[in-house]
Amino acid sequence: MSVAIEWDAFLQVFVAALLGACAVVTFYAFGLRLLVRSGHAPVVSPAEFTDAITVVSEKELKRAAKQAAKAAKKSPLTEGQRRIALYGAYGCFALCAVAVVAGILIIVVGH
């Protein structure tokens, strides 16, 4: 009994996975960048781990939120430009979701 590897199929899967991963990361990065430009900087409280090396205090978290609000006020963009950047961010996040769902459908339906 011998096993034959279809190298063409392997190469197709490798290229598709590489391009899909690059697309998701690129659109997510653009979405975050546009979200910040629109004045909606995401401020996320850190997770509490029992073995954490550094723990962000409540004071530091409030300071980060205050700096994000201050940066949003300093934005040179007009209100219309901010709205366009926000819609662009939502569009980039939607493209990320579409790429992930398309990949899952290809695996489930195409297999």
Would the pLDDT of 33 be above 70?
yes
pLDDT in tens, 23-32: 999 999 999 9
d(CA 74, CA 78) in angstroms, rounded, equals 11
More confident residue, 22 or 72: 22
More confident residue, 55 or 57: 57
pLDDT in tens, 8-21: 888 888 888 888 89
The distance of Cα 41 from the centroid of its chain, to the nearest Å, equals 13
Query: What is the mean pLDDT of the segment spanning 2-8?
Result: 86
Task: Indicate the range of 8-22, 66-80, 85-99 predicted with least confidence.
Answer: 66-80
Query: What is the mean pLDDT of the segment spanning 73-82?
Result: 80
| Average pLDDT over all residues of the chain | 82
Query: What is the mean pLDDT of the segment spanning 79-91?
Result: 91
Residue 24 near residue 96 (C-beta atoms within 8 A): yes
The H-or-E segment that residue 57 falls in is none
Sequence-separated (6 or more) residues with CB below 8 Å from residue 30: 88, 89, 92
Looking at residue 44, its pLDDT comes to 66
* Domain ranges across the chain: 22-41+52-110
